[in-house]
């Protein structure tokens, strides 16, 4: 690796204090970024400053401290709007996370637009939070949930990619909404959302995109993507926990009834009847996480810095090296099964459609045992079902190990991880 690239990556890592700590006396190698990312100093400082200098409830008071708080909250909304290239601030709703954003749409959209006998289409590679809310909504309104399969489910391959050939026949006239996943938290595969959205729109079907992983690993432009809804969580993109975003087209958000009732989402209230505040507040009942939401501004600025100029180039090259190294390691050993290979036929082909998320099993070894041993070596990886039980089951797995890399991870860390994995494997074999 060039020393220039090395220096750039070091300067990024220096911004993130958590990365320099030790676990079990070893330098931490944090590879659970698909679950949550570590925070840069600018977000930590901003949060701390917010609690000291801008801590007052938003939108409600006539004093300066509340004005400052409201300004920071609405500034973050503008940052999100511009980051997503959404046309208006009214398109951006603050929620508590991707899960809450999807639940909001599943409740309100289905209440207004979905009825008995209608169909909701979801994807087989979805996280539970893009499955269960739709099942709940379908139950409420008497609709059915249909699943767009992967090649594993149709028996046409083992890559874990969606079987797009099934799409046309699934999108029948009863379909009211299609819920997509941009990048799977298991396979890391980048789904062709643009193509799927165009196919759905050709039949008048609106589309929600779960961008929980996509927001980190791709440049998102909601107008170009032409999705009708887009959901993501702040904590996966260097921001605070308990904050999420729902982008929605105004035509839908305006027609949809509120999801929750309470303060701030009303215009006038009598004991008999309430009229609702205009967007976006109609969907922001109660005191929002105004401190966390405001911190989306420095978090997004950090993400933008990572995606700009020389820094972006260095991180991209490092990521390509990590992906090649990890894919080679995980596919050249017959004792390892990797879930989500870009191409079912040729190893290493099409890595451009895979984010650096690697979920796998080592034959005859329990993933949880491996994760525990790795922890003793300073390596943090996830094991279990990763909230995608149907997808993992479709691969024939009941649990797995997942190493998910962020732009601040290094090839060196990937190498140490695989060495530690081999040691753990030898201990358990």
Among the candidate windows 112-120, 160-168, 209-217, 340-348, which touches ligand PMP by CB under 6 A? 209-217
Greatest C-alpha distance within the chain = 69
Eight-class DSSP state of 257? P
Under the criterion CB under 6 A, does residue 5 sit at the interface with ligand PMP?
no
Residue with tokens 């400082």: 45
Q: Is 97 in the site for ligand PMP (CB under 6 A)?
A: yes
- Contacts with ligand PMP by CB under 6 A: the residue count is 15
Could you say which of 8, 31, 34, 400 contacts ligand PMP (CB under 6 A)? 34
Strands 29-30 and 379-380, how do they pair?
parallel
- Edge-first strand listing for the sheet containing 175-181: 92-95, 244-248, 229-233, 207-210, 175-181, 119-123, 144-148
Binding of residue 99 to ligand PMP (CB under 6 A)? yes
- Distance separating alpha carbons of residues 144 and 138, to the nearest angstrom: 6
Which residue among 110, 227, 387, 420 is the active-site one? 387
Q: Which stretch binds ligand PMP (CB under 6 A): 40-48, 79-87, 123-131, 332-340?
A: 123-131
Phi, psi angle pair for 251, to nearest 5°: -55, -35
Give the contact letters, 347-366, x = binds to ligand PMP (CB under 6 A), - = no.
--------------------
> Is 110 tagged catalytic?
no
Does residue 191 interact with ligand PMP by CB under 6 A? no
Q: Judged by CB, which is closer to ligand PMP: 47, or 387?
A: 387
Q: Dig out the tokens for 38 from the structure.
A: 């570590």
Q: Cα–Cα distance between 53 and 50 in angstroms, integer?
A: 5
Instruction: Select from 145, 97, 136, 90 the least CA-distant residue to 117.
Output: 145
32 binds ligand PMP (CB under 6 A): no
Binding mask 372-401 for ligand PMP (x = CB under 6 A): ---------------x--------------
The C-alpha atoms of residue 138 and residue 31 are separated, in whole angstroms, by 36
Residue choice 70, 79, 159, 185 for contact with ligand PMP (CB under 6 A): 185
Cis peptide bond N-terminal to 377, omega within 30: no
33 sits near ligand PMP (criterion: CB under 6 A): no
What are the residue numbers of the active site?
387
Query: Where along the sequence are the contacts to ligand PMP (CB under 6 A)?
Result: 34-35, 97-99, 127, 129-130, 181, 185, 210, 212-213, 233, 387
């Amino acid at each position: 690796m060039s020393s220039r690239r090395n220096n750039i990556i070091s300067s990024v890592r220096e911004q993130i204090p958590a990365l320099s700590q030790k676990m079990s006396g070893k330098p931490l190698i944090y590879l659970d970024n698909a679950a949550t990312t570590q925070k840069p100093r600018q977000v930590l400082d901003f949060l701390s400053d917010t609690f000291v200098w801008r801590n007052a409830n938003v939108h409600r008071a006539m004093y300066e401290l509340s004005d400052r708080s409201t300004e920071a909250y609405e500034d973050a909304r503008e940052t999100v709007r511009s980051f997503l290239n959404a046309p208006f601030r009214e398109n951006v709703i603050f929620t508590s996370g991707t899960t809450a954003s999807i639940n909001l749409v599943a409740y309100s959209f289905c209440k207004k637009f979905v009825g008995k006998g209608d169909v909701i289409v979801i994807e087989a590679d979805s996280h539970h939070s893009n499955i269960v809310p739709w099942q709940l909504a379908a139950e409420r309104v008497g609709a059915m949930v249909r699943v767009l399969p992967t090649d594993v489910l149709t028996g046409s391959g083992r890559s874990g990619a969606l079987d797009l050939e099934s799409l046309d026949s699934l999108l029948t006239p009863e379909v009211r909404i299609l819920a997509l996943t941009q990048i799977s938290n298991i396979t890391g595969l980048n789904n062709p959302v643009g193509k799927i959205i165009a196919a759905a729109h050709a039949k008048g079907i609106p589309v929600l995109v779960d961008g929980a992983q996509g927001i980190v690993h791709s440049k998102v432009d909601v107008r170009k993507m032409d999705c009708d809804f887009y959901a993501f969580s702040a904590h996966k993109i260097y921001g605070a926990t308990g904050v999420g975003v729902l982008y929605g087209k105004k035509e839908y958000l305006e027609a949809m009834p509120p999801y929750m009732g309470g303060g701030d989402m009303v215009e006038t209230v009598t004991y008999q009847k309430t009229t609702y505040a205009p967007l976006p507040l109609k969907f922001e009942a109660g005191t929002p996480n105004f401190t966390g939401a405001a911190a989306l501004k420095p978090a997004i600025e950090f993400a933008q810095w990572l995606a700009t100029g020389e820094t972006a180039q260095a991180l991209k090259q490092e990521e390509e090296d990590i992906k090649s190294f990890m894919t080679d390691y995980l596919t050249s050993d017959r004792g390892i099964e990797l879930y989500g290979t870009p191409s079912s036929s040729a190893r290493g082909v099409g890595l451009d459609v895979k984010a650096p998320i690697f979920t796998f099993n080592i034959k005859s070894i329990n993933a949880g045992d491996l994760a525990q041993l790795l922890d003793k070596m300073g390596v943090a990886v996830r094991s279990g079902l990763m909230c995608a039980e149907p997808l993992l089951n479709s691969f024939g797995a009941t649990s797995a190990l997942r190493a998910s890399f962020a732009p601040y991870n290094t090839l060196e860390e990937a190498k140490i991880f695989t060495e530690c994995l081999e040691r753990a494997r030898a201990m358990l074999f």
